[in-house]
Copies of this chain bind each other. A is one copy, B any other.
């Protein structure tokens, strides 16, 4: 019998609550047949009273995450606070102390991934982040481990559910951007300040993580364009008239994150970008509606593989976090699996041939 792993969960928001509930209510079922049991040792929140009201046992709660991370009785840290600090420092501290970390924090990974990977490799602590891209779709582990014998030439997909929900509703219901955005905010699909989603910055963060695993380099998110040329960022310039005109031309407009290996001889250059693009209505990506995510890899010699599923939300994201915890309970390593240590890469603009000239004056690149 292996001793149980004592897990602390930092943050009890939408995802954290689901993870905490699963560990409390399904702990026995979550024990791998060939690994250690997972025991919830603590939950840190900012507002203790609110967490107690939400049903988390008071004895587990703390508002001192750094204290729990440093506690020698804590074996594994699950970071679900989001944002930059203090998440970055807490993850670094846990890894530095040799403790495995599971996180869904795409911002921290995109901005400090190289630093955190270096610490994890130095101490041998696993850093797992399946939940950071594609919610519950097991896309990162598949890319890093199962497809490891391939060269990845291109990664592309719909990685932001909020913007896909807005574009889908605008296209199918003929409604205006501001109108649909307001509805999405009421329904909880968009945040009060929606800029990270609608301007494409969330998708940029996810693309940095995908590119790390696909191309072996941590890109600087600030270098990745989130718009076409001088157009408005993300989906903020997409009009209902643009969507209708695209539809009449057999095209759909989607916010696509895409990265491709640079041209031969271009050194460590990786083409990357997030923007609203036009694609054939007959392509799989055009069909992805609502908050669903879809991510495709062009792998050599394998060919194209695609992954579709719920890209956001508490239960879906918690599924990926719990999958990572189970991997750690089985002695598994980091999400980058057997890939070599990442280098750094420079971002180049994606090469595009055709464009769709929309009524608003925007020029949407047409994906082949």
Chain A residues close to B by CB (< 8 Å): 18, 22, 26, 30, 32-35, 130, 136-138, 141-142, 145-150, 284, 287, 299, 301-310, 315-316, 318-320, 322-323, 325-327, 329-330, 333, 337-341
Q: Which of B26, B303, B340 contacts A315 (CB 8 A)?
A: B303
Which of B305, B310, B318 is within 8 Å of A137, CB to CB? Answer: B305
Which B residues are CB-close (under 8 A) to A33? 338-341
Q: Give bound CA distance, A338 to B299, whole Å.
A: 28
Question: Contacts of A329 on B, CB cut-off 8 Å?
Answer: 338
* CB within 8 Å for A315 and B333 given contacts A22-B149, A146-B141, A149-B322: no
| A148–B315 CB distance below 8 A | no
CB nearest neighbor in B for A22: B149
Q: Is the interface of A mostly helix, strand, loop or mixed?
A: mixed
Q: Are A147 and B323 in contact (CB under 8 A)?
A: yes
**Which residue of chain B has its CB nearest to the CB of A324?**
B146
Neighbour of A302 across the interface among B141, B310, B341, CB < 8 A: B310
B-chain residues with CB within 8 Å of residue A146 when the two chains form the complex: 130, 138, 141-142, 320, 323
- Report the bound CA distance from A51 to B137 in whole Å: 41
Taking CB atoms, residues of chain B closer than 8 Å to A284 are 284, 287, 308
